[in-house]
Structure 1
């Protein structure tokens, strides 16, 4: 059976099967792990078999496969997993493979190493179960060159009539296994699964961050407004207490000439306090908006009109009569006392002293009555100031509370608008993530469909190829693509 017959046999399963894109060169490849002695082996083979071409791996062009391969390993130690991987890569499209254990001249245990290599390769892939293994000393340090068994194995391998057919079958097997591995890897999609996990984690993080940000913003608004309410209420109370103390001190030093202007002065000071509280409230609420990133324009409540009635300085006739009577008694007593004292000290001045003492008594009486009236009026002004500032404090606290409530409402609306804009942005991000997740799911579904469509054909073709290869290496479905 020629290579064309092999192609026709496999393509009879399905003409759309991927054909091996490999060219066959009439050369024997000699390769192996580093420092295994491949150079000495190829030199010896070129000398002993000049009618055949022996090349190293660097001399093989991409897309070209040799007719046979000599795999050179050292007798120092058995094969490793990396050595088996090199064997797979080198013999992917070549059926005739000969294993050579070199440096048998210096390693007495080379036979044990050879048997270990034979076991390792047979366990690695069933195709190597019938692989020929020989020992050789191509460039000996001790004794003569020993490559006769190797030469005989190479001649036997390249002289086999079925070599071309089996090499083509091996190329078909490798190509079909590669296609099967491609479809399986597309379904598994390790990179796709990693990307899918990353997208799901990112989506969960976006949702979690959006919820957390919204909660934090709501807490910040509530905390800032509560703090502003406390600070502004304290500011209003403090200003009312300050102006009350100031006005009470002014009332305590007021005279009858300043009583008339004192009411206007109190009204002016109360108006100034109202303006100060308004300015402080507006500034504080604007600062809160800036700190929250929600600049708002909260209109001030209607102007506060604090009614300040005139001071209740009314006429006190009964009290004035009583004070006049008491003052007269006090003045008369002082006048009598002074007149007796003057009569005892200067009898010649008795008449004049009586007149002078009477005048002094009258003056004392007027002073007592006037002073008592002034003190009474000052006490009235003190109580009037206390009452007025108390009313001012209640009005300012109510005004501050109304202003803060309006600002909180405005901040709530601004925060809701910001949350809505943030929600739109998050929804856009999540929509993009969901689209990518859906695209990955669609890609996997397409990969599964492609695998389910092509794998049965590939498996039937592999069965045909392995039946043809079975007489020499047996059949096993665990071969891996190279």
Structure 2
């Protein structure tokens, strides 16, 4: 009988392999969680010891039963997940008997039974002719009730066409699964998701290059402007501080310490130049590191120190003459005043007093001349220091501008090279993505072509098998839902079924 069915279907769809299932001479008792399938299985095993009754977890991989007893509870109507449990259990078996349990505890069980019958018939046309019986496997009062179930089961198992119908049902599942596989491959849900992900990745890669180039250019301009302002302020601040320091030192210098002071001024100015040069180098190096660009702080040399000559301390002849004249007059006045004082106090020492007074007047005149000369030199030094630091400030401003401009040009060039490298990298990435997109497009076209080529054969074979099975409406099997889809929807419910009791 099985061989005849296989030959019949293979003639219609030679490219479809025969169902790889092994038929066990057992009756599967299954149902939703807490429906009471374990109690029903035990009761049937006690009443029919000649028939082997098993539950879902007792079937090995690839094993299918001869008949299926689907147990539903009278506590509530069936749901879609409950129907999926039956789809999975009866995928390869045509003989199905539905048993409504716990009718002893629920007075409205007849209404639940009618609702379950309608639910199953609407779920799949093949279940419209499935018999329904009421069962009380483990009642609280009275004897168990399963005679109607045994009668239906005996009638189903004694039918001579059971083996053929079960084989046809297995073939129907195989044909429907094959058709579903063609549809899945043609629709390409996973492929479409991958294609969408690739398109998004491609757009993001191109956008990342554009945005990254713009962001880096804006960041470079902003950082360069900040560096120019900060370095200019730093240079001017150092010039101001060294000018104040040198002017304070100039107020305490004497004529003998003047050469040493001039050398000290040159050293301090050289120190400021080196400090500013080092500050520019460090700042530009840190800026390049922050932007991720190679730094070349020594590309532009430091400007030389400003060429301001020594202070004009010697060219003051007229002022010196005037100072000598004023000092001499002041000293002569002091000498005359003191001489009169000595003449009044000691008339005998008039000559000696005159000499002493002349010496004191001369000393005062010399002191006055030297003091005025020293104050003049300090004033000249103060002006000279102002000119020296002003020239230093101008030179440092020029150096800052030149160094920052050179750094900007260098970093802009490096930024352009980096953008070009990113463009090359993204171009390679886009080429890889485009190649994969073309491969997915070709695969989708091949899958659709294969489905279109196999659809007539599979449709004819399915129609013939369902006609042999006598399904009420072969064109609307499962209301447009495949057997595979229903079976997968019930996998979780069957996995959690276990061996529950009533």
For residues 224-248 of structure 1, give each alpha carbon's deviation from its aligned partner in whole angstroms, at most 9, with x where no partner exists: 4444433432332233333333433
For residues 180-215 of structure 1, give each alpha carbon's deviation from its aligned partner in whole angstroms, at most 9, with x where no partner exists: 222222334444444445555555555555555555
Alpha-carbon distance between aligned partners in 1 of 2:407 and 2:393, rounded to the nearest angstrom: 21
State the partner residue of 1:309: 309
Closer/same/farther in 2, CA of residues 74 and 294 from structure 1, 3 Å limit: closer
The correspondence of residues 72-471 of structure 1 with structure 2, limited to 5 A, is: 72-102=71-101, 104=103, 108-136=107-135, 142=141, 147-203=146-202, 206=205, 213-259=212-258, 263-299=262-298, 300-301=300-301, 304-470=304-470
SS at match of 1:101: strand
Between 1 and 2, higher relative CO (CA 8 Å, sep ≥ 6) is seen in 2
SS at match of 2:477: coil
Q: Structure 2-normalised TM-score? A: 0.80
Closer/same/farther in 2, CA of residues 287 and 383 from structure 1, 3 Å limit: same
The question of 1:56 aligning with 2:59 is answered no
State the partner residue of 1:478: 477
RMSD over equivalenced CA pairs, Å:
3.6
Closer/same/farther in 2, CA of residues 152 and 344 from structure 1, 3 Å limit: closer
Equivalenced residue count is 476
Closer/same/farther in 2, CA of residues 442 and 351 from structure 1, 3 Å limit: same
Alpha-carbon distance between aligned partners in 1 of 2:138 and 2:387, rounded to the nearest angstrom: 122
Closer/same/farther in 2, CA of residues 186 and 41 from structure 1, 3 Å limit: farther
Closer/same/farther in 2, CA of residues 415 and 336 from structure 1, 3 Å limit: same
Alpha-carbon distance between aligned partners in 2 of 1:142 and 1:117, rounded to the nearest angstrom: 25
Flag structure 2 segments of 5+ consecutive residues without an equivalent: 485-502
Kindly indicate whether the alpha-carbon contact (under 8 Å) linking 1:126 and 1:476 is maintained by their aligned counterparts in 2.
no
SS at match of 1:477: helix
SS at match of 1:459: helix
Alpha-carbon distance between aligned partners in 2 of 1:241 and 1:105, rounded to the nearest angstrom: 106
Flag structure 1 segments of 5+ consecutive residues without an equivalent: none
Alpha-carbon distance between aligned partners in 2 of 1:140 and 1:266, rounded to the nearest angstrom: 115
Closer/same/farther in 2, CA of residues 212 and 341 from structure 1, 3 Å limit: same
Alpha-carbon distance between aligned partners in 2 of 1:236 and 1:104, rounded to the nearest angstrom: 99
Kindly indicate whether the alpha-carbon contact (under 8 Å) linking 2:40 and 2:137 is maintained by their aligned counterparts in 1.
no
The alpha carbon displacement at 1:350 in A equals 3.6
For residues 377-418 of structure 1, give each alpha carbon's deviation from its aligned partner in whole angstroms, at most 9, with x where no partner exists: 332232222212211221122123212222232233334444
Kindly indicate whether the alpha-carbon contact (under 8 Å) linking 2:25 and 2:52 is maintained by their aligned counterparts in 1.
no
Alpha-carbon distance between aligned partners in 1 of 2:80 and 2:238, rounded to the nearest angstrom: 88
Closer/same/farther in 2, CA of residues 74 and 235 from structure 1, 3 Å limit: closer
Moved more, 281-290 or 206-215: 206-215
Kindly indicate whether the alpha-carbon contact (under 8 Å) linking 1:32 and 1:71 is maintained by their aligned counterparts in 2.
yes
The alpha carbon displacement at 1:91 in A equals 2.0
Kindly indicate whether the alpha-carbon contact (under 8 Å) linking 1:100 and 1:135 is maintained by their aligned counterparts in 2.
yes
Alpha-carbon distance between aligned partners in 2 of 1:104 and 1:363, rounded to the nearest angstrom: 142
Kindly indicate whether the alpha-carbon contact (under 8 Å) linking 2:45 and 2:53 is maintained by their aligned counterparts in 1.
no
Alpha-carbon distance between aligned partners in 1 of 2:347 and 2:194, rounded to the nearest angstrom: 128
State the partner residue of 2:14: 15
State the partner residue of 1:38: 40
SS at match of 2:113: helix
